[in-house]
Amino acid sequence: MSAPSTVPHTRILIGLVGGAVLGCAVNALKTEGVIDGPLVAAIIRYGTKPVGDIFLNLLFMAIIPLVFASLAVGVTRLGGGQNVGRVGFKTITYFLVTTACAAAIGLTLVNAIRPGDQIPQEKKDELTAQYKEEANKKLEKKEGDEGFGINTFVNIVPRNPLEAFLKKDMLAVIFTAIIVGITLTRMPPDRAKLMIEFLEGINFIADFILRLAMFIAPYAVFCLIFSTTAALGYKVLIALAAFVFTVLGGLAIHLLIVLPLLVKFLGGMSPIEFFKRARGTMVTAFSTSSSSATLPTAMKCAEDELGVPATVSRFVLPLSASMNHNGTALFESVTVLFLAQAFGVDLNFGQQLVVLVLCILTATGMAGVPGGSLPLIGLILVQVGVPAGAIALVLGVDRILDMCRTTVNVTADLTTAIYVARSEPTVETPAPVAKPTE
């Protein structure tokens, strides 16, 4: 079985392209009545979707143990609180700056193009009616979920860490891991060594699970893309072409201009070389639509392909997967203003600044899972006087745009690791476990 870092990228790309082409062809034949619609639905439900779900489940299976163990060991190797504070400050500052830049790009483009003014009213009504039920499900709060607010930050410190693990509360898991890592640096070395070896064993298990996932990746990517394109086709893109163009244009500017400049001047690496080495992780992000699911692959890429020390990657990337969502912030800013335009709500400069800040905050606090930004967009819409149910207008194209923005999210994560690694040359060699102070 191939290691994750040696799975041929071409096989995954072939699966991606093949699934997209075949899916669009099947959708077109279904629309023309050549292929029976229920037959296509059965193929997706009983064939391609289960394969894709198994792949995603394998990736998600490793996430919580991998994040906890990698981050705790990473903090230990950084040498404790002082280094963690310095590296953490650089990392989070980078998050906020790049996320703000992405959201600003989105706001600029949506004001220039004004896609909300270009959709006929009858098409708005048709799309809203078609996806109204799904929109209500997306916006429905789960039991015990208070939504985004001050408690989002309060709950980073969990009352019960085990409950946080069960609920997959990534920010709480990260906080717990950092506390455990700092504590290990203050324990006697012989006692800390046992715990560190245990955590490294968990990392090894997670790595093996990743190997299993990547073994089926080319086939799973084919199935994931086929399921999406066979169900949606391309006609929904035509109906929302201006909106899709605005989002994709903003993501392209951030991915191909902003991030390469950061890689060049802050990371000290050739952008061409960076994209060449990161392409496998970018394809995984595109096909899974999840920063969290791509985390194991991103860590492997950072360490094996980009030369980022494990001490940096195992601290920075778990944080990034949970907090650094450049593409999501851009998507949110475009979507909010697009829907405001579509529903005739004119937002002044001050209100757009509020949207910018809310996009940064919600993108930082959202879960790195497919569609995780949709409930947060509903929250922002209410703040600016647009009905939350307006999100139904964009649900038809969300899956495709989710793939694209996740690719930007994960690429930004890798640029963060490169920047921090270059700015922290002293952490390349694992630091010894500190002796307890007398």
**Closest Cα to residue 176, out of 98, 53, 64, 94?**
64
Transcribe 343-358 into DSSP letters: TT----HHHHHHHHHH
pLDDT at 80: 60
pLDDT tens-digit readout, 4-53: 444 456 777 788 788 888 988 888 888 888 888 888 889 988 998 898 88
Within the chain, how many helices (H) and strands (E) appear? 20, 0
Examine residue 57 and state whether it is found in any structural domain, yes or no.
Answer: yes
Examine residue 341 and state whether it is found in any structural domain, yes or no.
Answer: yes
> What is the C-alpha radius of gyration for the chain, rounded to an integer number of angstroms?
22
Domains: count for the chain:
1
Please state, in angstroms and rounded to a whole number, the distance separating the CA atoms of residues 83 and 316.
13
Examine residue 242 and state whether it is found in any structural domain, yes or no.
Answer: yes
Examine residue 436 and state whether it is found in any structural domain, yes or no.
Answer: no
Contact 23, 228 (CB under 8 A): yes
Examine residue 435 and state whether it is found in any structural domain, yes or no.
Answer: no
CATH number at residue 260: 1.10.3860.10
Each residue's pLDDT, cut to its tens digit, for the chain (438 residues) gives 334 444 456 777 788 788 888 988 888 888 888 888 888 889 988 998 898 888 878 877 877 887 788 778 777 876 665 667 788 889 889 998 999 999 999 999 999 999 888 777 776 676 666 556 656 665 565 444 555 556 767 878 888 888 888 877 777 887 888 888 888 888 888 888 888 889 888 878 887 887 788 788 788 888 887 887 787 666 666 667 889 899 999 999 999 999 999 999 999 999 999 999 999 899 889 888 888 778 888 988 999 999 999 888 888 898 888 778 899 999 999 999 998 888 778 888 888 998 888 888 777 655 555 555 666 787 788 777 777 777 777 776 777 888 899 999 999 999 999 999 998 865 543 333 444 443
Expressed as residue numbers, the domain containing 402 is 4-424
In a 3-state reduction of DSSP, which class is residue 340? helix
DSSP label at residue 69: H
